[in-house]
Structure 1
Amino acid sequence: MTDTWVEEAAGSLFDVDNLPYGVFSRAGEEPRVGVRVGDLVLDVAPVAAAEMLDVHHVFQEPSLNPLMAEGRQVWGSLRTWLTGLLTDETERDLVEPHLVPVADVTLHLPVEVADYVDFYASLEHATNVGRIFRPDAEALLPNWRHLPVGYHGRAGTVVASGTDVVRPAGQRKAPSEDAPTYGPSQRLDIEAELGFVVGTPSALGSRVAVADFADHVFGLVGLNDWSARDLQAWEYVPLGPFLGKSFATSVSHWVTPLEALAAAWVDLPGQDPTPLPYLADGSPRGLDIAVEVEIGGQVVSRPPYSSMYWSPAQMLAHMTVNGASLRTGDLFASGTISGAEREQRGSLLELSWGGREPLADGRTFLEDGDTVTLRYTAPSASGGRLALGEVTGTVVPAV
């Protein structure tokens, strides 16, 4: 990597080996695409117009969807161009006037979400949840090691980091109760996850192979799948999550391009039995991404994404194996990231073991006023680390 002339960025978690995309606006101006470098946002549209790029118009749009729809070849070319702008001293006079402090802009939801699918790809998380919810049965259901289990969520309630989360209400029934009651969730939880954003669509009736993952996935976001565990426990049999999940899913403002994570790929811990051929990937690849979960200013967990059982490419292949088409802006998530140790569990359900083992501060689930922040870092091409976009949300009382 060539050093950047942007002094605020050099050596930071947002150096030129990162360059995530987002959507920003300034007072009195329309939202448009920007690229983060250090604690600055590059307003790309005027620079692209000045250099007469064929795709300069995509940077004037209020979402990343038009840019993502251009496809992998364009994504790579733009990344090379942006890196050159920020490392070549001769480009400084052109670029520097269009660098704006992050603190001076408003950040928006970066993607117009088409469909949202959430998976259940951590062996440790699935095992823990099975033991908590079904203590007298096998922790894993018979299908779990054969396919990436998932559910189709609600795209319309995917919100940008910083959006308040209203405590959901609904039906809940404790095992000791004879009948369900209605009211605000008493067991509101978080799930520390990664989200994968689709750029290139696929045709209805076709399938996306494991090997074609990078042709379709534009980048990654941090993701918090807020969960109402009491609503979930009562509703999820036999069809799975519904109202316990659909009230809010928070994603980061910044989308980290897949190319920025080239140094983060690692082998998965192992899969047994061997997956069916359409899921076979030789040596399935995961990502060495470290996650930090902070609640009320205190770090409560550090889940490792490298411990996941199912790979991102396998999730995408399974999601389309029946011929379901991809659309630009589709979002699919990893499911809760949990490791083998207690301090690596990515949800309060697991950290408090279903509410029976309070955390050090006495909490079991989220209280009104709690602010949750998820942070992510990964190895960078320069040998250091880069940051993915963080995700923050504050719980406000039920209406």
Structure 2
Amino acid sequence: MPAAALTLSDDGFLLHGEPFRILSGALHYFRTHPDQWADRLRKARLLGLNTVETYVPWNLHQPAPGTLDLDGLLDLPRFLELAHAEGLRVLLRPGPYICAEWEGGGLPSWLTAQPGLRPRSRDPRFTAAVDAYLDLLLPPLAPHMAARGGPVIAVQVENEYGAYGDDTAYLAHLADALRTRGVEELLFTCDQANTSDKAKLTAGSLPGVLSTGTFGGRVEESLEVLRAHQESGPLMCAEFWIGWFDHWGEPHHVRSADDAAAALDTLLSAGASVNIYMFHGGTNFGFTAGANHDHAYTPPSPPTTTTRCSPNAATRAPSTPRSAMSSPATPPSPTSPSRALAQVAPDRRHADRLGQRPGLRRIPVPRRAVHRAAHHGAAGPGVRLRPLRHGAARARRPRPALHGRGGRPGAGLRQRRPGGRPGARAP
């Protein structure tokens, strides 16, 4: 059996026996269009990173028991090949629970819908489903492990489990499931490392498995908590939060770049390894954002997370029961807008270009607008919008005169006198 490429020293990592510091950035392949994977990976390398990190969403890769989807947006082997070609290492986080502000934390609905099932525990039905999933997922990934010349140098067990439970036997089952299926790479766990609740770090850890922390501030305190928990070995922040996710309808969370840079400098000055969360956010296609997260997964990150992919590009039929939904289809390849529709006029002497494209005028009009057209003179669906021409002034609807019952303007209207009570009649 090949030996792990990444090993531990008293205070750091060794890659093939040489000192190595992990400088990683989170890049979720399933939130990024496949045509953009190579571009984002190159940007990661140009930023100075030597590693990228990604979760693996169980509910997308296995939409039904006994199946495995590795096509299009879910072609994880291809993503790993591109990372390797770019000279990047990979931290793989297969869950089974991934959190990630993702629908169900990646747990498939066909499993969680079972009455009485206890997810993330030793429940035999849950562990049997996990084992069956790993039986299908891991063989295609085996050639991409670093021990066999691939880019994957470490694999995570569960995800921040200490914030959920303390079933050490469950974690041990997961670690054993990875080992017995040929994963020889370094295993690690991650949990919140803060002084207010050290029990989370203990509950989510496993003997013989590297413990890492997740935090975005109070770096020195968090590293002290991590070192007190684990007396030797490398210090690593598996999620260094440079921002925060958004809930639907709420303002976008923004962290000062200076503040994030100062905290990162403190972390690196301590000799710790790091995974920047996120390096590139991306898009929650379809209904994958869960109940209340925004479709754009865009914590403030080093490169722009703006994408031309429509958030609805992979949306499935709303009438389809959520438990029966298949994985979102790969959205069409991003394209630049047509120059004919994006042309900027040099001056005001131009025609209405939309007037030349009647199809773009076919916009459904609400009933309220139809009512206004019929009774108040507003433009309705039957009104033809003429293109603007040079020298033509915009047509303005004349303001109707306000006539009261007596025929003169203002007669009988209810007005407010200066200093008077509402509704007093004008003299």
- The answer, yes or no, to whether TM exceeds 0.5 is no
The structure carrying a bigger strand percent of its residues is: 1
The structure carrying a bigger helix percent of its residues is: 2
Determine which structure has greater relative contact order: mean sequence separation of CA pairs < 8 Å that are 6+ residues apart, divided by chain length.
1
Specify the structure having the higher radius of gyration (Cα).
Answer: 2
Q: What band does the TM-score fall into relative to the shorter chain?
A: under 0.3
